[in-house]
Structure 1
């Protein structure tokens, strides 16, 4: 049981590093796919979760790579993306980004 808890904490920390608000991203993934971010995508492909190396294996992995690229570009511009909360709503079955 302790091993499982430790693994969950390590996964959460790995996903938080440089990837914006994990809670907000979890909501977006759950809304869009109906799946849990941590249990479904923590070790998915080459770019979802920790790692970010190699050729993406499919469309989901390409999406993770694109998201990582966006956050890296924002970080280079001085934005603090690690814990930045998203401002978004769900509207007519879509995620709509809000303004801050």
Structure 2
């Protein structure tokens, strides 16, 4: 039932017929349904600083110009919501 509701709201995302806040909520719900297992690796200066695993979705944050800011938000395998970003570093997301 959830999938049917999400698919019915999908055209609103592309039509621009809903507010930005609602659009963000709908996008996150779609990602929760369609997401899978992932690994997030954070590198700084070529060295692995942190590695996280989880199941679900990874949210890539964007600025006002729709460019990726380098910050990702996700829920790890323990259920904690983690927001990771590196200034001058690299964040790699591997979906399995």
Please state which band the TM-score falls in when normalised by the shorter chain.
under 0.3
Normalized against structure 1, the TM-score is what? 0.26
CA radius of gyration, larger in: 2
Which structure's residues are more often helix, by fraction?
1
Normalized against structure 2, the TM-score is what? 0.27
